[in-house]
Amino acid sequence: MSTADHHLSHYDPSGVPSGAGRRFALVVSEWNMEVSDALRKAARETLLMHGVAEADLIERWVPGSFELAAGAQFLLERGGLHGVICLGSIVRGETPHFDYVCHGTTQGIMSVGLKFSVPVIFGVLTDDTLQQAKDRSGGKHGNKGVDCAVAVLKMAELRDRG
């Protein structure tokens, strides 16, 4: 496994654009709540640390990862957002359901971002076990929520400044 011995959430804060004056949304899956909420907290903390005001940060919950794209779209239809982070966790089970949910979630999130020409960040863990998900949501491999917050700030800057 490529992440076996790596902490994935280390980054250089000086290379991250400020989020001051920008509005962002976190759309979070209720499924696998322990993991999803850990991702949310890390993304939120990182955005605030990089200048996003509390008042400019929207958080909404959806039932599962499959609904993340629709949640992002509902928020983007209202306008005024510089980016959306979709956060969730899909853990492989004993049936092909995992594959269908992963594929639909991935395609949906990508499609919404392209449709609205706004960064919509894929922050969905797709792991074989719950332990792997925990390792990537605040455990030994860092927290993907941090990475997603950094990505949305960089992509918002790229979109606005080119």
Query: What is the set of active-site residues?
Result: 97
The greatest distance separating any two alpha carbons of the chain, rounded to the nearest whole angstrom, comes to 46
